[in-house]
Structure 1
Amino acid sequence: MRAVVQRVSRAKVTVDGCVTGEIGPGLMILLGVGRSDTSAVAARMAERCANLRIFEDDQGKMNRSLLDVNGSVLAVSQFTLYGDARGQRRPSFITAAPPEPAKTLYEEFCEALRKLGVTVATGIFQAMMSVELVNEGPVTILLDSDNTF
């Protein structure tokens, strides 16, 4: 499972001109699901995102987590995080999970965040979405359950 985690002051996602998810301060998470991912991986990734200390404390150091600042999450599925363009011009998505298991694990990731007490807004799985965000810092962290980065 791969996540692009961005600290935001606000973010929203629209589908066909209608807002499907919107948050204030918190994290914008683009989530890609790989073929070998499991429910346990989804739960661990949710825990990592919720506890990632990328919010500033009183001394200006990144020392607070999403849970510490009571922030929200906008989670958007993005299979293109598994795009492999090494040695080619057109990326291959062979390592991305097929739609059915990917949707299930994406939903499990969102539910795991909710169980941790996080307010979660979402896009619509497999829809063409427009995402707007204000990246604060900017702070962007890449997480990979296989620790490839």
Structure 2
Amino acid sequence: MKAVVTRVQRASVEIEGKVCGAIGQGFLVLLGVGPDDDETSCDRLAEKVAHVRVFSDEAGKMNLSIDQVGGAFLVISQFTLYADLKKRRPGFSHAAKPEIAAPLYERFMEDLRQKGFAVEHGEFGADMKVASVNDGPVTLLFDTDCL
């Protein structure tokens, strides 16, 4: 699995002109699932993202995790993280098929909820408009192949 995680002041997702998810301070997570991903890799990724310390403490140092600042998550499915960019037109055959990706997307969000986080989300496979006010900006790339 791959995740692009951006620390945000606020973020939202809109489908067909209607906001279906919005958060204040927290993480905007663009989540991609590969064909070899499974529940174990999903759980590892959720654990890692939930505990990364990139929020500022009282001294202005990135030393706090999202739970320490009362932040929330906005999770967006993003198969394009698995794009093959060898040619000018990206190929997406390296992304997991929906029957694999959708349940792992749901599991990732459920893992975060079980850790006590508020989780907003888009709709798997939908055409979405995502807006964010990035904080820092701080953006991290997580890849379960490297964790």
SS of equivalent residue, structure 1 residue 102: helix
SS of equivalent residue, structure 2 residue 107: helix
Question: TM-score normalised to the size of structure 1?
Answer: 0.96
**Does 2:120 match 1:121?**
yes
**Does 2:54 match 1:59?**
no
Runs (4+) off by over 2 Å = none
**Does 2:17 match 1:17?**
yes
Q: CA deviation at 1:40?
A: 1.1
**What residue is the counterpart of 1:108 in the other structure?**
107
Residues 114-146 of structure 1, C-alpha deviation per residue, up to 9 Å, x if partnerless? 001110000000000000000000000000001
CA distance in 2, matches of 1:43, 1:57: 27
Q: CA deviation at 1:101?
A: 1.1
Q: CA deviation at 1:96?
A: 0.6
Q: CA RMSD in A?
A: 1.0
**What residue is the counterpart of 1:147 in the other structure?**
146
SS of equivalent residue, structure 1 residue 54: strand
Q: CA deviation at 1:57?
A: 0.7
Residues 51-81 of structure 1, C-alpha deviation per residue, up to 9 Å, x if partnerless? 0111011111111011111100000000000
**What residue is the counterpart of 1:34 in the other structure?**
34
CA distance in 1, matches of 2:89, 2:39: 30
Q: CA deviation at 1:33?
A: 0.3
The residue type paired with residue 109 of structure 2 is C
**Does 2:28 match 1:43?**
no
Q: CA deviation at 1:41?
A: 0.9
CA distance in 1, matches of 2:99, 2:15: 20
Q: What's the % identity of the aligned pairs?
A: 51
CA distance in 2, matches of 1:119, 1:44: 19
> 5+ unaligned residues in a row in structure 1: which ranges?
none
The residue type paired with residue 121 of structure 2 is T
The residue type paired with residue 18 of structure 1 is K
Question: TM-score normalised to the size of structure 2?
Answer: 0.98
**What residue is the counterpart of 1:130 in the other structure?**
129
CA distance in 1, matches of 2:21, 2:109: 13
> 5+ unaligned residues in a row in structure 2: which ranges?
none
